[in-house]
Amino acid sequence: MTALPTAPRSSWVREQARPLLELALPAVLAASVARAGDVISLALTGHYDSAALAGVAGAIVVVELALGVLLAGVTGYQVSCAHHLGGGDRAAAVRALHAALRPVGVAAVVVACALILTARPLVSLTLHDPVAVTAGVAYLRARALSLPLAVLSALNTITLQSAKRTRLTLLTNCVTVPVNLLASWLLTYGIGPFPRLGAAGNGLGITLALLCANVLQLVLLRRAGLWDWLGTLRTTRWDPVEARGSWQLAWPAMVSMTVDYLASFAFFAAIGLLSVTDLAASRVVFQLVLLIFMLSNSFSAAAGVLMSRAAGGEEAAGVPRSAAIRDPWRANRILVAGALTLAGCVLAVTARPVLWLFTGDPAVVSAAVGGTLLVAVSLPLVALTVSNTAALRALRDTRSDMVANTVASWAVQLPLAWLAVRAGWGLTGAFTGVAGYWLVRAALTERAARRALAAAA
């Protein structure tokens, strides 16, 4: 393991933070705008009525499982694109895009059709109230239409970020999120000539926003000088070596996502045994977890891009290759851990006001407070996990994160949650499983990341 720099730690952090922040901040702002749109969209449903919120809570688990697995399928492209561009091999990056687009794109269409046809039995697995089930089915069918669009948008975003054009990603979200909010508001509540669709209007609003995002991203790819990728994509031959390498990176991430979201599905099934109020409250708390996780993960993904480009051969003046790979990981850990620790303190103090943003039901707010406090305590562990996961992906070790996620989900989170529900500890007791999950996953990924970095050095 290389020694820490001899320069004062504060100056080293400032030096390493500069290139990381230049790449990460636009990505985080883009994710913030996107997640803010999702949060406000959820709040629209929450203020529509509690049954609609519970319906979305049950249906969105299915959507997130399908979407998470599909987006994990482009992990190989996420790693390979930055790696190839770091080495100056643009043709190889196009071949990597080709290897990811065909199988994942077809899978997205198939999964979307399957969700539309099986929406009711899937939603009924976690919901028992007939009104909530009807709302959940309508939402799921509307959101299923967005899956192919989400895959295309993810590939476009990876391309822009790997080329260090994250500001264009921010521009995309700044334009498309207002479309999401306006469409969701109009279609959920039936403003003016628009029909009052309730939960289905929320799902259609997100689908329309993703359609807008794809059109805008194609325009931005042309402005970034990457338009020719689309032209060469049509004439690029299938590269079995690139496809095999992409699959080797993607399948552990896909398994990890499947395990993660199936665990979430079982987690919400356990909470569904409590009450509709507890289920709605759990969705609000889980949305907070997702919001914080996605923002910190977007920041850490930028560190992963720097690490991948360094591993691919991108030169940094006067910096050894091993240090160029390791330094973004160290700087990322310091910055993300500090930010999430501060966020945890703020969330613990302002739990009730934050929850009121999501719902106007006092019972839902009261049920969600305990889980929110456990989330606040867990945020430093989230910081360690996302920084380690980014490093493992950059160093092509997606299997270790798969193992860590599987153990944390099925050996810790679910047993603790089910025991808490059976013991009558309510929603707060169930969320002790979530805190345990982050503790175990952080510990396991920490060990794996240090081992991978030692091998890269």
pLDDT tens digits for range 332-347: 888 889 999 999 999 9
Band of residue 2 on the pLDDT scale cut at 50, 70, 90:
very low
Residues 6+ apart with CB under 8 A from 412: 433, 436, 437, 439, 440
The pLDDT of residue 229 is: 61
Kindly report the CA angle at 407 between 404 and 412, in degrees rounded to 5?
A: 125
Tell me whether residue 195 is in a domain. yes
Q: How far is Cα 37 from Cα 209, in angstroms, rounded to an integer?
A: 10
- The Cβ of residue 422 has, within 10 Å, a number of other Cβ atoms equal to 11
pLDDT at 35: 60
What pLDDT digit, counting tens, does each position of 202-242 carry?
888 888 888 888 888 888 877 777 666 656 666 667 677 77
Structural domain boundaries enclosing 263 = 9-456
Per-residue pLDDT at 157:
82
The Cα-based distances of 20 to 105, 162, 304, 395 in angstroms read 31, 13, 10, 17
Any domain includes 430 = yes
Residue 3 lies in a domain: no
Q: Which residues contact 165 (CB under 8 A, 6 or more apart)?
A: 220, 224
Confirm whether 2 is domain-assigned. no
- For residues 120 and 196, the model is more confident at 120
Q: Which residue has the higher pLDDT, 226 or 96?
A: 96
Per-residue model confidence (pLDDT) at position 223: 75
Query: Is residue 1 included in any domain, yes or no?
Result: no
More confident call, 415 vs 95:
415
How deeply is 187 buried, as exposed, middle or buried, from its count of CB atoms within 10 A (0-12, 13-18, 19+)? buried
Q: Phi first, then psi: what are they for 63, rounded to 5°?
A: -60, -45
Q: What percent of the chain has pLDDT over 70?
A: 87
Indicate the helix (H) or strand (E) that contains 18: helix 9-48
User: Is 4 part of any domain?
Assistant: no
316: left (phi > 0), else alpha (psi -120 to 50), else beta?
A: beta
182: helix, strand or coil: helix
Contact between 182 and 42 (Cβ < 8 Å): no
Mean pLDDT of 184-192: 83
pLDDT tens digits along 34-77? 566 556 666 777 667 777 777 787 787 788 778 888 888 888 88
Mean pLDDT, the chain, integer: 80
Mean pLDDT of all residues in 103-125: 91
In a domain, 362, yes or no: yes
Cβ atoms < 10 Å from Cβ of 176 = 24
Q: How many domains does the chain have?
A: 1
* Residue partners of 402: CB distance under 8 A and separation at least 6: 252, 253, 255, 256, 259
The answer to whether position 253 is within a domain reads: yes
Cα–Cα distance, 260 to 125 (Å, whole number): 17
| 109-113, 299-303, 392-396 — most confident range | 109-113
Looking up tokens 């990890």 gives 256
Say what the pLDDT of residue 114 is. 94
- Residue 13's pLDDT band (cuts 50, 70, 90): low
**Does residue 30 contact residue 169 with C-beta atoms inside 8 Å?**
yes
For the chain, the C-alpha Rg in angstroms (whole number) is 22
More confident residue, 229 or 359: 359
